[in-house]
Structure 1
Amino acid sequence: MTVKGIDVASYQSSTFSTSGLGFVMVKATEGTGYLNPKHAAQVAHARDAGLTVGHYHFARPGSMSAQVTYFLKHAGLKTSDILALDWEDTGVSGADKDAFIKALQKESPAHRVLLYCNVDFWLHRDTTSFCGDGLWIADPESDAGHPRVEHAWTLHQYSVSGGVDRNVANFASSDALTAWAAKGSSGAVPKYEPFPGASWFTVGRKSPVVAAMHARLVAVGCNRYKSTANKDVIGSGDIASYEAWQRKYSDAHDKDWSGAALKWPPGKETWNALHVPNV
């Protein structure tokens, strides 16, 4: 069995369809001077859909260490994110490829690192078979999940459909992919949703995390919702219910909070205490 996914860059929309997908690989950077202008929006869209997220860097000739630094500066990593080197430029040697991957693994040991390349690069330019934590092979001439390489593969980019590159991951389920990607968590998915930052809590945001928060606020006796419709979209009911939770938490822990401390958006302390289950 395999898991479906796509990869996107600035050529694709920031609101691509996530139906039926388990992961999205997003172009982040190229060389030491290019940042995909849609990277942040495309990553946020994938996260909102609960997908495993990957970030990839298109290598150009030059300092590999400088490119690793630039990549990590702009990737915006979170736990369970995947990193990948896009090796397509003929001016980047096999030795450069190996140096980039090794430097990336050293600088970001908590994340899985993949090598992306096509069949020609893998069979005729590579000399070491070194691909970090896994090979992301591009082979549109073969059926999904059957790339024409003998080496074990992790992702297979097999076609372009609707202007988007289609991929499959060599895992039995999306949960298995996420567990593998969570290298920094010993393969375990966090029990509770980590605090996404105050700026994440914008009215109208749609996410399974919002629905999980809704359920927890009801469970802790802070139900100020007037409807259960669209419970995965942040609205006035979420604001009123969460502010009720902040008042309850403050009273229970003798915080004596007042003013902005009791108002929306959520803070890290009360969010962690709410124990919103990982979704």
Structure 2
Amino acid sequence: MMHMSMRGFDISDWQKDIDINAVDYDFVICKATQGTSYVNGYCDINIQKAKQAGKPWGFYHFMCDCDPVEQADYFYANCKNYFGEGIPILDYEDGGRIGSDGAKRFLDRIYELTGVRCLFYTYRNVVQSPHDDEDWGAIAQNHALWVAQCANDNVTGYQDSPWLPSGGFGAWKTCVMHQYTSHGRIDGYGGNLDLDIAFMDAAAWARYAKPSTCNAQPVESIEPSGSAADIAADVMRGKYGDGEERKAKLGARFEEVQNLINRAAIASADELASDVLNGLFGNGETRRAILGNRYDEVQAVVNGKANAVDIDALARAVIRGEYGDGEERKAKLGANYDAVQKRVNELI
């Protein structure tokens, strides 16, 4: 049974004007990311203040209804320097209730990358009365519970024994933290705060943040695989965001892919047509996505160049084995592939 406890609060960009150096707390938890497209710009400011003050801290990802592994990769990419220092948390609530299988895929991916088990945050009714697609047994085995249950909406300060009625926590034996109000008020800040009690001391907090299994290095790269053209097409479709978000998601592939995108924007149509014929921009929808509103202009030049090519000669070279097979052949023939392959089929 735990006899020690700490009092603190959790914040998001709703409390962007808070100066945590001006308020009393034992620990703070900051929203870091959401889904695969949002980073809280105030998170690191507050985490650095907590670190400078020597206070325990945590950081959380707000789950959305998109792919859980992609969300985990996004959380890791934007928070990699936090793992092993603060407690990572998955915030699972309405808007992101994708089922326990999806939540577990997120949690397993974070553990795979870091060796750290996230805490699991949710409302008490979620664990007591789960949906049909929610079976929390596998998650409860190795992910501690931070539960939200409020007595009412009355304004309150810190409480040493907040209301938490009997009735259990579903698959969990107990909770290690309790969020007991969203209308908290403490000296030094004039707005509402989520107030929490942690049933642990600072030493226990540190063990959750950095267990003995914590990896010094990620176990595998989360950089995207595939050709630069395929990744560039996905960038143009919005999959990798902009600016720092894109850099984080692309990792070591960023410069390679961004150079391809920049070339498509600034090179002449004739230069791009030559690139197309050399296979630089792929085929079909991949090429269309990268070239964007320049596609028709460039494709017209490509078609003119392709018409001047001796398709019969290329086909005979293919038959002699000079252009390889499969993807190698496609890459070497570029925009001429379909016409040449058709002629190859006729000749053999």
**Structure 2 counterparts to residues 235-254 of structure 1, below 5 A:** none
Q: Deviations over 1:164-195 (max 9, x none)?
A: 11111111x32332244331488xxxxxxxxx
Structure 1 residue runs of 5 or longer lacking an equivalent are 187-279
Q: Greater helix percent: which structure?
A: 2
Range that drifts further, 5-14 or 72-81: 72-81
Out of 164, 185, 190, which is 1:146 matched to?
A: 164
Distance 1:112 1:53, change over 3 A: farther
**Structure 2 counterparts to residues 201-240 of structure 1, below 5 A:** none
- Cα distance in 1, alignment partners of residues 23 and 209 from structure 2: 21
Q: Deviations over 1:218-266 (max 9, x none)?
A: xxxxxxxxxxxxxxxxxxxxxxxxxxxxxxxxxxxxxxxxxxxxxxxxx
Offset, 1:15: 1.3
Out of 136, 143, 146, which is 2:146 matched to?
A: 136
- Cα distance in 2, alignment partners of residues 116 and 18 from structure 1: 27
Aligned to 2:194: 165
1:9 aligns with 2:12: yes
Q: Deviations over 1:25-52 (max 9, x none)?
A: 1100000001112111121122122111
- Cα distance in 2, alignment partners of residues 180 and 84 from structure 1: 11
1:30 aligns with 2:58: no
Offset, 1:6: 1.0
Q: Which amino acid aligns with 2:6?
A: V
- Cα distance in 2, alignment partners of residues 60 and 38 from structure 1: 20
- Cα distance in 2, alignment partners of residues 95 and 30 from structure 1: 19
Asked whether the 8 Å contact 1:14–1:41 carries over to 2, the reply is no
- Cα distance in 1, alignment partners of residues 163 and 22 from structure 2: 20
Aligned to 1:213: none
Out of 86, 102, 105, which is 1:99 matched to?
A: 105
Distance 1:38 1:2, change over 3 A: same
Aligned to 2:202: 174
1:63 aligns with 2:61: no
Offset, 1:84: 0.7
Aligned to 1:221: none
Q: Greater strand percent: which structure?
A: 1
The percentage of counterpart residues that share the same residue type is 23
Q: Deviations over 1:80-130 (max 9, x none)?
A: 311111001254222211221122111110x34111000121112242232
- Cα distance in 1, alignment partners of residues 111 and 213 from structure 2: 16
Q: Which amino acid aligns with 2:31?
A: K
How many residue pairs get aligned? The number is: 184
What CA RMSD, in Å, does the superposition of the two structures yield over aligned residues?
2.4
Distance 1:74 1:39, change over 3 A: same
Asked whether the 8 Å contact 2:85–2:206 carries over to 1, the reply is yes
Offset, 1:56: 0.4
Asked whether the 8 Å contact 2:120–2:146 carries over to 1, the reply is yes
Offset, 1:78: 4.8
Q: Deviations over 1:115-159 (max 9, x none)?
A: 100012111224223244300100112952736534321111111
- Cα distance in 1, alignment partners of residues 44 and 96 from structure 2: 28
Asked whether the 8 Å contact 1:18–1:46 carries over to 2, the reply is no
Aligned to 1:199: none
Q: Secondary structure at 2:135's aligned position in 1? A: coil
Offset, 1:23: 1.7
